[in-house]
Chains A and B, each alone.
Chain A
């Protein structure tokens, strides 16, 4: 039997729509499960207390703080580095093989497996630089890992600033760097921030790179300096769900919910910033 093209189209579109639904369902399922099972565990005490009894009771405060420290440290290093690199690539680089090499390097940094970043961090920061297992080592490892995300989104933001703005400024005798600083960057900044926040949110959830560079199994106190180990939310969830027997499920789901909540709220901020810019964009 030969189907009419219109019938074929209906079938095809229905299947494609079904696929889209299949992709989205897990998101909804995961969120519903986390909220349903995790929410009862969350209380003020859970968020602000130290873990007790080998993590089987008490809160997750040090893990939250640890993750915040790592994220802040990583973004502090990666943001300037990434933005400057993007500026180089968009504004200064000529079309030669050096530039191509840098682009390939960025692409490949983005593709290096997270656990390999962990090995690298272990080799370079923990051992070679003698930082030990510490917040610096972990934050630097994460920084290098989020670098490609920041570079890529900053590049896009810089390229979206019209060339005419640059020429208008240059035509007034303003130097190249001043033009970048006063015209290009302010207009690219929101885009840069959006991309960077998305990069950061990824960092907050990463486990493999911090396994051997910073994460402490059980450390019921806050880190004293950047050369201290610390707990971190993703690793804490890993420990709770695979390494410690007889943990109340509520504790696991609660930790997962806090982690996802943190990552999603960062994402939400980025999405709001982006929507805000789009509505205000004048060119």
Chain B
């Protein structure tokens, strides 16, 4: 006979998902770019990813202690801090000293996430906030691009000094900026299309290999962890703007395909802009949000002073997410009630 009857509101069954499994899916989706980073940047990639993840998790734990959370370890289990750490690491230059990575990671979790109330309450993408903080504080470190370990030394090199233990190199987007300023032809950047596709070029840890990012993105789409709307909106709007610039002056502006495969564009489209917490809820809102990010990236890249604009574009659109949500209020299937 029954001795204990459980009572709760319907429904009494639920899908096998949890926040943890969603985050785990993102981590699996991030595996191809992580592997590509290991391949191209070897030891640096390993150090950077481990430092960022550890710093993120420890910071979250400390914040939970300060907030007197009942079980300070519980929120670590949802893996969201791990995802933030990985994404931050993948968007950092490979040779960034670990202490700087720790500062960025701690800022991302403590200030951009926990201060707002933890998971689900943050307005800005923590990883992008952390990266912005690092760019503001350590501008030079954040724009020093190491040559991948696999690279051939004949590639154009900007500041190679024989006594330094690492060679650095301009990223395809830096070449693109040079072209816009009429200091070099756009063709140099366009020539990098092939290497940008596999990832054999300078750049942030996880953004150099387009193919790895696309594989990871497709995994997330297939697992339905993300929907197609934001990636499609980001990439399409960026492509259209880049194509317009390219058609106007192909010698000053690099081709739209190069734009899409270089810099943080794909990482942003599949992994950063799709962060559900900081993106709008409705499909229509997602399109507006994605188009905003794609357009801002291209505006910064083409018109602005920086060669790359992913993090600013994401943060700017994060700031208006609540407004987009309000703008795109859903109408019930049966129309608005006549009250």
Q: Do A and B come from one complex?
A: no
